[in-house]
Chain A
Amino acid sequence: MSHEYVPEIALDRDGNEHVVQGWQDDFYGGKLGFWLFMFTEVMMFGAMFLTLAYYNTLHPHDFIEASASLNRLLGGTNTVILLVSALTMGLGLLKMRAGDVKGAKLMLYATIILALMFLGIKAVEWTAEYNHGVFLTLPALQSGNEHSLPFGKILFFGMYFTMTGLHGFHIIVGIGLMLWLIKRINSGKVTPEHHILHWNIALYWDIVHLIWVFVFPYFYMIGAAAATGGTGGH
């Protein structure tokens, strides 16, 4: 089964048929369009980072103390997992472009496994934080009660759960996209000759990785020196 393009036909007043210009083979246009989508992601996370930076200037000591309580071992492990997953995704695209469809699919499966590992570690981390009474719905992160954390810490953890949660949602979407891509490859709709979908999903995975490149140091590392007892936070 091949990727077959069926042109749209328009009729003029005299009933003559004309082929409408199609853009299905416009590789560069498809790529450019996806870059535009990625700019919206940058705007969204960029606004969050600016909010975070602003709160940081208001409550620098609370931010450092809150950061010191995060688990750098788990955060660092997730950083390395995402680094390697970006490699497997890139190698998968490379194999697809070189005509090695089976190798490309194997690399996609490897990327999915790494993504699931990332989510698993994040779940362990969030569970530990919940068990220590630090989570969005718990009294520690609600201001104005006897269990409330200092306000700067409430802001820090509020942003932490929001941003890592949104990033985790992007990881889940990425897994869905990769499964869909594998389905399209299996049905012959993504081939070495028509691989723009693979290319754009690889770009999506890279932007997810790129966001984590900033999320990790801002949340986990700004208070690393203040932490006592090694890298373990809790």
Chain B
Amino acid sequence: MDTNILNYAEERVRYYKVLIGLLLLTAITFGLPYLFEAGANLPAQMFIAVLKAWLILMYYMHLKGEKLIGTMTMFSLSLVFIFFIIVIGVDVTNFQFGAESHITAPEHTGGATHAAPAHH
């Protein structure tokens, strides 16, 4: 889809179709917590969010057919993935003072989590 060529009627219909799709996915978002257990709910919610994001990017933000910007988007997202998830993820996972910090210490049960943070 060349963004400089306009077929008004066709594009307007596409906008409404995307809106209906987004509304349906939003409705599914409300139903998911009752279909999945807490552990699976979050990944399911994020999956629906990614579908919604894809619709917005492709049709509202006109990425469909934009090869250069599309490639740049994927490249940038790959960089974000590599640096944030892998590099920082590995670093955070191996955090040396994980057991001592009041942020990273394992969650307590029985309401003891509101105790004053440990100082170190």
Contact = CB atoms under 8 A, between A and B. Distances in A.
Say what secondary structure dominates the interface of chain A: helix
Nearest to A100: B8
Interface in A35-72: 35, 39, 42-43, 46-47, 50, 54-56, 58-62, 64, 72
Contacts of B117: 143-144, 151
Contacts of B23: 80, 83
A216 B61 CA distance: 20
Chain A's interface size range is 35 or more
Contacts of B61: 203, 206-207, 210
Chain B's interface size range is 35 or more
Interface of B: 3-4, 6, 8, 11-12, 15-16, 19, 22-23, 26, 29-30, 32-34, 38, 41-42, 45-46, 48-49, 52-53, 56-57, 60-61, 68-69, 72-73, 76-77, 80, 84-85, 88, 92, 102-104, 106-107, 111, 113-117
Given A150-B111, A199-B3, 15 more contacts: A32-B68, A61-B107, A62-B107, A87-B19, A90-B15, A203-B61, A213-B52, A214-B53, A217-B45, A217-B46, A218-B45, A218-B46, A222-B41, A224-B34, A225-B38
